[in-house]
Amino acid sequence: MRVLKKKIYVAGHTGLVGSSIVRELQKSNAHVELVLRSSCELDLTDQKAVSQFFMNEKIDEVYLAAAKVGGIVANNRYPAEFLYTNLMIQANVIDSAFKAGVRKLLFLGSSCVYPKHSKQPIREDELLSGKLEPTNEPYAIAKIAGIKLCESYMRQYGAKNNLDFRSLMPCNIYGPGDDFKTENSHVIPALIRRFHEAKINNDPVVSVWGSGKPRREFLYVDDLAKACVHMMAVPKTIFHKHVGPMQSHLNIGIGEDVTIKELAELVCAVVGYEGCVVFDESKPDGTPQKVLNIEIARRLGWEAKMELVDGLRATYESVMSS
């Protein structure tokens, strides 16, 4: 008997997270037809184009990993772009998917949606309980809007239309395929690039932004991809029973953090840089601590596998081999 393939659209498939989700779907399910479009082929900020795409393709499931992303420098430099572009992408994809009859969608947010001074480790119900970190507030607001859009569609249309829209909030993601080349990079690729260049150039000192005291949690990208596919496979009644109707998002992380100073030391060791590392305290630190409570994710049967030092090593090896 011929088995019909499920059509799955991965929005943002060329990015760090999207490309890993594609690899995981290809490994884990033979009965999948992946539908992929680059930004050149489909501009997700174009409402008409996105609507036409969904009407034409008859998609069964969506992984919404497309976003404008960047580190603290990029967030400070392009706040309007981070807010506008992400709002448009999310609104167009979620609404067009719904109108075209897509019943299952996974939206990927970020741990930056939580207030700057959240209780640690951060539970899902900390959302909207306080002020955001100013350096990435526009991006965070966009991601909060994405969570609430999925949540609102579930509340208004869920029972009538048998919707199953889910949101995952991962901690800081890193791994092969990240942006290692520009000032817009996140902290791990930025540190890898700077320490590697310093090693090659025999630079005696590398300066790192901030005091080195903030604590952050880092998740290897392939672990996140596994979490996405796993959580999409959790039965609807079980998933939504755990997250609740007014708190529809779920944290994804490892439940442990390190200081930026400790991270810099690990990257130094992996790269083999033997010079001096100094911290520029005139630059912003951002949120003092950010580690996620992942009790619900564990109850739903998922846990990260990659240790930080091993993930850093794999990431650096991918840069060296490219």
Specify if 176 maps to a domain. yes
Specify if 73 maps to a domain. yes
Specify if 165 maps to a domain. yes
CA 193 – CA 312 distance, rounded (Å):
12
CA 168 – CA 63 distance, rounded (Å):
11
Tokens of 23: 């690899």
Give yes or no: 139 in active site. yes
- Domain of residue 281, CATH code: 3.40.50.720
pTM: 0.95
Specify if 17 maps to a domain. yes
Residue 17, domain extent: 6-321
Specify if 258 maps to a domain. yes
Residues in contact with 65: Cβ distance below 8 Å, sequence separation at least 6, in sequence order: 10, 11, 12, 13, 15, 17, 18, 21, 108
- pLDDT tens, 217-236? 999 999 999 999 999 999 99
Residue 177: which region, alpha, beta or left (left: phi > 0; alpha: psi -120 to 50)? Answer: left
- pLDDT tens, 182-214? 666 789 999 999 999 999 999 999 999 899 999
227: helix, coil or strand?
helix
How do the pLDDT tens digits run along the chain, 322 residues long? Answer: 455 789 999 999 999 999 999 999 999 776 899 999 999 999 999 999 999 999 999 999 999 999 999 887 888 899 999 999 999 999 999 999 999 999 999 999 999 999 999 999 999 999 999 999 998 999 999 999 999 999 999 999 999 999 999 999 999 999 999 888 766 678 999 999 999 999 999 999 999 989 999 999 999 999 999 999 999 999 999 999 999 877 889 999 999 999 999 999 999 999 999 999 999 999 888 888 999 999 999 999 999 999 999 999 999 999 888 7
What per-residue confidence (pLDDT) applies to 192? Answer: 95
CA 9 – CA 263 distance, rounded (Å):
35
Specify if 78 maps to a domain. yes
Specify if 1 maps to a domain. no
Specify if 82 maps to a domain. yes
> Which of the following is catalytic: 9, 63, 139, 316?
139
Nearest to 201 by CA among 280, 263, 273: 273
Domains: count for the chain: 1
CA 280 – CA 251 distance, rounded (Å):
31
